[in-house]
Amino acid sequence: MPVLITAGLSQEAYRVKRILDKAEVVFADSSPLPQIPGTKSLVLPSYTSSSFVHEVLKACLDLGIKKVYPLKSGEVRELAKARLLFAEYEVRLILPSDEWLRNNEMTAAPRDAAITVVEEGAAVAGADLPEPLSINKETGIFAWATRDQKTEYSLYLVEDAGI
């Protein structure tokens, strides 16, 4: 099954692809992407467009995509509002709970940050997480660092004019 990674023009999208180690990845962005042999891409409207959520869902249904990895803060906010709609079609949005999003600032992660894909609190790809996992039951792509024996997590996001 293919997965969808947004911000397809960014280095971060390709880093996520690399750690997911998925054969079928569709990159999406609001600007046309260069045609790279062996990759699939599509153009989606900006997350500021009223049709953004519906176009993402349509692309998922048309292409058989079951997981979406949004990498821009605006996309995360808009897709979080449509969480139930995507669940009805069995498309999983890889983003944190509404509570986590309310309580944490969304800023772009440092490029050299360790990143881990977490689903339901379990690391599924990327750097090994230190124990104990302090983001119990969360889902998302998290950048993290340990400072003064405390692990701090943030979403792994790209620079975004909408931040």
Higher-confidence residue: 110 or 122? 122
The string of DSSP codes covering 129-146 is PPSS-SSTT--EEEEEEE
Distance CA 63, CA 60 (A): 5
Q: Give per-residue pLDDT as tens, 117-149.
A: 999 888 889 987 765 455 668 899 988 877 777
Average of per-residue pLDDT values in the chain:
88
Higher-confidence residue: 49 or 132? 49
Chain-centroid distance of CA 115 in Å reads: 12
Distance CA 68, CA 92 (A): 6
